[in-house]
Structure 1
Amino acid sequence: MVKFFIERPKFAIVLSILMTLMGVLSIINMPVGQYPDVAPPSVNVFTNYRGANAQVVNDTVASVIEKQVNGVEGMQYMRSNSSNDGSYSLDITFEVGFDADRAATLVQNRVNAAMPLLPDEVKRGGVFVEKVSLVC
């Protein structure tokens, strides 16, 4: 069999080009829905506490929100960041395959439960919850 292709290099080249084109066409025509979910869904909570340093933000905002959000259904882990400019960010990562819309709704409900315990400055500025989609 190998001898057949060695003796007919033009045939081998044409055959390899045809196989490559078929592969490219099959990738282009394959619906994206058939690809498996690789990246876990993530939800981001962020707010701003003007005039506060990182320690104050951590004590008055981060601890309140994190106590409420901790243990939400489907959560794998969460990571927070408090900055000296008064900003606060919390990233909650969920299990692979968990519905991102449902995750955002569950986190929003938990954040709403924490709202009465937050400082007035934070309430006026708002606490924002958004789902993060990682599309490559």
Structure 2
Amino acid sequence: GPDTVTHFNGYNTASVLGSAAPGYSSGAALDALERLAQEILIPQGYDIDWSGISYQERKTGTESIFAFAFGLLMVFLVLAALYESWSVPFAVILAVPFGLFGALSAVWIRGLSNDIYFQIGLVTLIGLAARNAILIVEFANHRYEGGMPLMEAALEAVRLRFRPIIMTSMAFILGVVPLVIASGAGAASRQSIGTGVFGGMLAATFLAIFFVPLFFVLIRRLAQRMQGRRASSPAEDRREHILEGER
């Protein structure tokens, strides 16, 4: 017979240990185990409960979604206060999905799981992906407010900010390589967060840099259209008011 008999709330228990197959997340493995228990164990009078890491993952599974949404909201509010506009921050926020795409693609290619460490990396990517977009939007918005045409302001921002963005982003990307290739004890957690951030920053750097100027132009024009204004720069509007006053 068994060496020990464990109990939980007065009932005899048996511990089931396992891990997700390559290419499947730990959440998918827990869902499959729960479906299996519903079909086989529970009809026979058994019950299941989670413990250890599985319990923590079930408990915090939905909290990561709220953390990600809260991070996006805070970035949006800070940018709205910085630009004194509710529309311009969307040009920055729309760069975040590129980081998510890169992170999910990198983890999928390596066959890693969508665990709590990877989710922490996703929250981190909000600020990292937004940082590159801020460099472009800030400069483009400054030039546009100074009188430069909208399209020229966006292109000028990309041309002047391209090198700083590439240099700082590559320094960060190369800095997380040791996490991506980690080995030894605790390597799984380091690989999970490192791979997600690595892939996310690659996409946020080399994909978003081409789309952020487009987002800036489209959002600016959409905001002006909603306000019933033509797509002219603020400086041009000021010159028109001056000329009307002289007349």
- TM-score w.r.t. the length of structure 1 is 0.38
In terms of fraction of residues, the more helix-rich structure is 2
Normalized per residue, which structure has more strand? 1
